[in-house]
């Protein structure tokens, strides 16, 4: 990330296409082609994990597994795992918003059908590839597949509500269910094989076209996850496997009561015992999926906000120091130098800056945060150095047009004094400003390239549901967008 470059933030679910959700099919390859034609070098996405309740990519059933909903069904027909007549061509899906309930209802039976066809076909080459995938990923895949089979068996309830003996992983119960659910366990392994096969092929296409993928690693795992159930010792749990304290952030820009995420906190003492091997494995696995990694909530590696389990808001918490420096050193010692971006947003204290700078990690600069006349901030472009990633906004912000429309008069005056904002096209003015800065990396969400308003917002931090739905349609992205992006990318040497 030493060279100047630029790119677009767009999650896979937001791509156009059939069957209600963006996926790893033709439209994903078309988007790579768009990036190439517009002179971009980066495609940034959100976490690719298997999402749970609320559909947030930051709350997944595994820190390693991919989201089955992103598997492209047409590819399965090409491989003979489904017939074309199996595909739901007579069902209406909203092209502009993901209806997750409907997508689940339609897609999972088809994935199960693909698995059954695989089992009956006895395709030698596919069997060899599948077995190889299972061996290579055994460390996380076995826990995930067993966890998901159990979750299916117990009708989707959280693992804390399962029968006591399997919740507590008693040997007899584990052996019984492993045998009883072996077909479902194999199904969940196979679905991951399909996901990884399709994703790594898409990533290879991007890389061959000199597009790097920035992926996102949530700092915490979900409470209802295979990670928490299979490795309770590395989390802050009591003897009944209940959390003692949970994760969140204190009152901030987004919420007066803070954000109570509810994720289990790490037992850092336990993680230290084997030199943070779980973290090393996790980051290594992420670099199979991505070229560059953004660590979400990086500040939690310096100190984290801990809230007693059972609290209704995140107001009553406390900061606890984390051994992030020691952990990152172990990761770099094991894996070598890694291109990592620190998401250093929120309540940033000197220890966070020190941790980021000790490892030379680029931080993030958000232009939407710069023009707040009521606060001092370090988001004004004249304060940047080269080692940063500059964003117009992120998936957690309103779109730039949406925010501009709601800006106070004093903020609008500050913008006009600082740089020329085209009032009829503010989003593009912000993109040009991001591209013009000294920061080595400049990124804009696709919503800003398309000049969309608040209706296209991807997420609202602190709100548990109703987000992660936005999609664009094929006709929205045109040659005009290619040309204007290419022009400023060349103009500003990216």
- Catalytic residue of the set 143, 236, 344, 396: 396
Distance CA 381, CA 466 (A): 33
Instruction: Give the single-character DSSP code of 66.
Output: B
- Cβ atoms of 269 and 211 closer than 8 Å: no
Where are the extended beta strands (E) located within 218-290?
245-249, 259-264
- Return the ∠ at Cα 109 (arms to 193 and 24), rounded to 5°: 45
Distance CA 396, CA 413 (A): 25
Q: Which two tokens stand for residue 460?
A: 């609202």
Q: Which of 146, 164, 163 is nearest to 231 (CA)?
A: 146
Q: Is 291 a catalytic residue?
A: no
β partners of residue 306: 247, 318
φ, ψ for residue 303 (rounded to 5)? -155, 145
Q: How far separated are the first and last CA of the chain, in Å rounded? A: 12
- Catalytic residue of the set 143, 343, 344, 448: 343
Distance CA 62, CA 278 (A): 13
Which residues fall within 8 angstroms of residue 437, CB to CB, at 6 or more apart? 365, 381, 384, 390
- Cβ atoms of 331 and 323 closer than 8 Å: no
Q: Is 354 a catalytic residue?
A: no
Q: Is 224 a catalytic residue?
A: no
Provide the annotated active-site residues. Answer: 296, 343, 396
């Amino acid at each position: 990330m030493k060279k100047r470059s630029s790119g677009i933030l767009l999650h896979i679910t937001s791509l156009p296409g059939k069957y209600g959700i963006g996926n790893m099919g033709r439209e994903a390859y078309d988007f790579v082609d768009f990036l190439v034609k517009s002179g971009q070098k980066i495609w940034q996405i959100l976490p690719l994990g298997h999402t749970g309740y609320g559909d947030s990519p930051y709350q997944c059933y595994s820190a390693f597994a991919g989201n089955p909903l992103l598997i492209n069904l047409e590819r399965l027909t090409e491989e003979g795992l489904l017939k074309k007549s199996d595909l739901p061509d007579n069902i209406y899906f909203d092209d502009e918003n993901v209806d997750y309930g409907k997508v689940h209802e339609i897609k999972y039976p088809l994935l199960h059908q693909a698995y059954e066809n695989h089992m009956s076909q006895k395709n030698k080459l596919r069997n060899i590839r599948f077995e190889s995938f299972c061996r290579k990923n055994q460390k996380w895949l076995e826990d995930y597949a067993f966890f998901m089979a159990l979750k299916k068996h117990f009708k989707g309830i959280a693992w804390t509500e399962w029968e006591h003996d399997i919740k507590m992983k008693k040997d007899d119960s584990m052996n019984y269910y492993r045998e009883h659910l072996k077909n479902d366990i194999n199904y969940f392994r196979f679905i991951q094989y399909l996901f990884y096969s399709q994703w790594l092929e898409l990533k290879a296409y991007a890389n061959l076209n000199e597009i790097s993928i920035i992926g996102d690693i949530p700092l915490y795992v979900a409470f209802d996850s295979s990670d928490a159930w299979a490795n309770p010792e590395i989390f802050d749990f009591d003897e009944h496997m209940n959390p003692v304290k949970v994760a969140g952030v204190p009152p901030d820009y987004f919420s007066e009561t803070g954000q109570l995420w509810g994720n289990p906190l790490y037992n850092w003492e336990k993680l230290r015992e084997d030199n943070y091997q779980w973290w090393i494995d996790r980051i290594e696995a992420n670099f199979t999926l991505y070229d560059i990694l953004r660590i979400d909530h990086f500040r939690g590696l310096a100190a984290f906000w801990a809230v007693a389990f059972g609290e209704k808001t995140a107001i009553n918490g406390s900061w606890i120091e984390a051994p992030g420096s020691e952990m990152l050193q172990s990761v770099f010692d094991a894996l070598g130098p890694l291109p990592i971006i620190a998401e250093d947003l929120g309540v940033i204290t000197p220890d966070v800056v020190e941790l980021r700078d000790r490892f030379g990690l680029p931080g993030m600069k958000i232009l939407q945060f710069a023009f707040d006349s009521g606060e001092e901030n370090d988001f004004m472009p004249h304060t940047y150095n080269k080692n940063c990633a500059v964003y117009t906004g992120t998936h957690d912000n309103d779109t730039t047009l949406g925010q501009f429309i709601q800006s106070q008069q004093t903020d609008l005056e500050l913008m006009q004094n600082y740089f020329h904002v085209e009032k009829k096209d503010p989003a593009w003015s912000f993109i040009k400003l991001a591209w013009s800065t000294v920061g080595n990396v400049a990124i804009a969400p696709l919503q800003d390239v398309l000049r969309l308003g608040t209706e296209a917002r991807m997420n609202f931090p602190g709100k548990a549901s109703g987000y992660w739905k936005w999609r664009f349609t094929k006709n929205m992205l045109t040659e005009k967008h290619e040309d204007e992006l290419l022009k400023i990318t060349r103009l500003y040497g990216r």
